[in-house]
Amino acid sequence: MRRNENTKIIGEKVILIPYEEEHVQKYHEWMEDDEMLRLTRSERLTLAEEYEMQRKWRLDDDKLTFIVLSKAVSDTGCSEVESMIGDVNLFLSSGRHSGELEVMIAEQAARCSGAATEAVSLLISYALKELNLKNFFVKITEDNMASLHLFEQKLHFKRVSYSEVFGEITLELAPSAPFDEWRKATVVQYRV
C-alpha cells in the first residue's frame, strides 16, 4: 500500500482513500458477515488480527488497498468511517505489467448503485496512468452472479479460464474496453 498511501481518488459517486487504522473496526464488522466471507473468499479474523493485517498491507509494495467512501455521504460532512461502503484492491503481479482486482461493496444500501463500477474504473484509471499497468484480471466464484455481471457486462472483462477445484472463473480486461471513459477522476494528495 506504500504506492497509494498518500493518494485520494475522487469520482462522481465514490471517493477512494488508503485503508487506515481508523477504518479497521468498521471493516472488521463487515467481515463478521458469513455471506461476505463466502463471497470474498476470506477467513474470519479477530479484531486484533484485522489490525495486524492492515499494518502489513500498509507496508506492502505489491498491493494497493483503498477504502470506498460514498461521495454523497462524505459531502454532507460525515466522517470517513460513516461514509465507508466497501473496499477495492489491486494486487500487482511480479515481473509482469498486470494486476488482480478485487472489489467489495459491503453496505447493502450502496449495492446496485454504480459504486462498484466506479470504484474499479477509478482504480484501473489510476493504475494505467500512475503504475503503467497493461493487464488486469479478476477471479470470481462461479456463484457470485453480481460480481460476474459487474465485470463482464459493465467493465468489459472476458472469461479466460475456469478452475473446477476452486469453482472460480478468471476474467481479463478486454483490449476493447473504454479506457478513455475511465480517466474521469481527480487524484489528490491525501494526509501528506
| Calpha distance 73→79 (Å, rounded) | 9
Per-residue b or e along 21-41, where b marks 16 or more CB atoms closer than 10 Å to that residue's CB:
eebbebbbebbeeeeeeebbe
pTM as predicted: 0.89
Residues 97-139: pLDDT tens digits?
789 999 999 999 998 999 999 999 999 988 888 888 888 999 9
145-to-11, 33, 38, 139 alpha-carbon distances in Å: 25, 18, 13, 13
Q: At a CB cut-off of 8 Å and minimum separation 6, what does 44 contact?
A: 31, 32, 37
Report angle CA 78, 27, 173 to the nearest 5 degrees: 100
Residues 147-169: pLDDT tens digits?
999 999 999 999 999 999 999 99
Q: What is the CATH number of domain 2-184?
A: 3.40.630.30
Quote the DSSP letter at residue 133: -
The pLDDT mean for the chain works out to 87
Q: At a CB cut-off of 8 Å and minimum separation 6, what does 29 contact?
A: none
| Calpha distance 173→139 (Å, rounded) | 12
179 pLDDT tier (thresholds 50, 70, 90): low
Residues 22-69: pLDDT tens digits?
999 999 999 888 887 777 778 888 999 999 989 888 888 889 999 999
What are the backbone angles phi and psi of residue 20, rounded to the nearest 5°?
-110, 170
Instruction: Compute the residue count for the chain.
Output: 192
Residue-range domain boundaries for the chain: 2-184
